[in-house]
Amino acid sequence: MSYFKLLGLEKEPFSSSPDPEFLYLSREYDLALTNILIELRLKRGLTVILGDVGTGKTTLSRKLVKELSEREDFIFHVILNPIFESEKEFLFALTRNFEVPLSQSYQNITVSEIRDSFEKFLLHNTRVKNKTVVVIIDEAQKLSEKELESLRILLNYETNEYKLIQLVLLGQLELYSRILQMSNFYDRIDFKYTLNPLGYEETKEMIVYRLSKAGYMGNISLFLDEAIRDIYYYTKGYPRGIIRVCHKCLRALVMSKVKTVVDKQLVFDVIEEDSVSKWRHAGVKHE
């Protein structure tokens, strides 16, 4: 039997997958999401979401995808890992994903021919079919300068009122320093937002939220306040760390046989084990 069923839960509460159903909309996330949607509606072109490792960028992108799939006037595509061998491969992949008809095979077609076909596709879909075409790129810090430049050119496709393509780039903080050096690209950003780690109250709300989403109906919280406080101090409010530690705490709770809630001592033991395993992963000997 899964450990979470033993705690009376229907689902795994602290799974590491970026499931939008488990996204706790903190004030920051809500602000980011609302603004992205506004930018897309206004067809302003370029949105950049930055955040340190594990702050929830991929989770936010999944939530965005969920929101867009519920609306008929959007056509979108998500690129999860933007590593391409050349600009041609990048543009070809983009057009293929939107099923844009191309005049030639990959071997024979030129970059500018791919661009022309894509522009026709964008014009037809935005002006004739009244759609908003969106490309969401996660892990955008992996985009090469060539690819960023290629995206910049796509942003030049516009009417008097709006851009024909909407780009949402989500990436780690290094993306920003890269873009800063490309003033042409930087100038085109319409909305930039940085996701920060959660505060203590938000950490608590996220834990409670995920437990309730997993079907927890108990009267008392599975995590004492003292436990949540230590989880917050240890993880510094980074969602990925919180999820990992909470997951380990619940597993330890099930194993303990005497405890019925996660308390300070249990968190202490988990944190000790967690930091040792992190050192090990980093290849450092722990005395």
Ligand X SMILES: Nc1ncnc2c1ncn2[C@@H]1O[C@H](COP(=O)(O)OP(=O)(O)OP(=O)(O)O)[C@@H](O)[C@H]1O
- Of the candidate residues 13, 54, 82, 197, the single one contacting ligand X (CB under 6 A): 54
92 binds ligand X, rule: CB under 6 A? no
Residues binding ligand X: number (CB under 6 A): 20
199: nearest Cα among 94, 36, 58, 55: 55
172 binds Mg ion, rule: CB under 5 A? no
**Nearest to ligand X of 22, 193 (CB atom):** 22
**Nearest to Mg ion of 16, 103 (CB atom):** 16
List, in sequence order, the alpha helices (H) in 158-281.
174-180, 183-186, 200-213, 225-235, 239-256, 264-281
Minimum Å gap between C-beta 63 and ligand X is 9
216 binds ligand X, rule: CB under 6 A? no
- Of the candidate residues 7, 23, 169, 222, the single one contacting ligand X (CB under 6 A): 23
Q: Give the chain's largest Cα–Cα span.
A: 70
Residues 30-59 that bind Mg ion (CB under 5 A): 57-58
Burial 137-176 (b: 16+ CB within 10 A, else e): bbbbbbbbeebbebbbebbebeeeeebbbbbbbbbbeebb
**Nearest to ligand X of 45, 51 (CB atom):** 51
- Of the candidate residues 18, 45, 197, 237, the single one contacting ligand X (CB under 6 A): 18
Phi-psi region of 30 (alpha: psi -120 to 50; beta: other; left: phi over 0): alpha
**Nearest to Mg ion of 81, 112 (CB atom):** 81
Q: Which does 249 bind (CB under 5 to 8 A by kind): Mg ion, ligand X, none?
A: none
DSSP readout, 222-235? SB-HHHHHHHHHHH
Q: Which residues contact 115 (CB under 8 A, 6 or more apart)?
A: 91, 153, 154
15 binds Mg ion, rule: CB under 5 A? no
Stretch that binds ligand X, among 66-74, 143-151, 214-222, 238-246 (CB under 6 A): 238-246
Residue type at 46?
Answer: L
Query: What sign for the dihedral angle of Cα 265, 271, 276, 277?
Result: positive
239 binds ligand X, rule: CB under 6 A? yes
- Of the candidate residues 49, 134, 151, 206, the single one contacting ligand X (CB under 6 A): 206
Residue type at 240?
Answer: R
- Of the candidate residues 53, 83, 173, 180, the single one contacting ligand X (CB under 6 A): 53
Length of the chain: 287
Phi-psi region of 137 (alpha: psi -120 to 50; beta: other; left: phi over 0): beta
Q: Which does 29 bind (CB under 5 to 8 A by kind): ligand X, Mg ion, none?
A: ligand X
Minimum Å gap between C-beta 170 and Mg ion is 7
Stretch that binds ligand X, among 2-10, 21-29, 65-73, 102-110 (CB under 6 A): 21-29
146: nearest Cα among 190, 91, 183: 91
Q: Which does 185 bind (CB under 5 to 8 A by kind): Mg ion, ligand X, none?
A: none
**Nearest to Mg ion of 61, 126 (CB atom):** 61
Residue type at 94?
Answer: L
Torsion of CA 57, 23, 78, 48, to 10 degrees: -40
Give the interface with Mg ion as residue ranges (CB under 5 A).
57-58
Q: Give contact residues for ligand X (rule: CB under 6 A).
A: 16, 18, 22-24, 26, 29, 51, 53-59, 172, 206, 239-240, 243
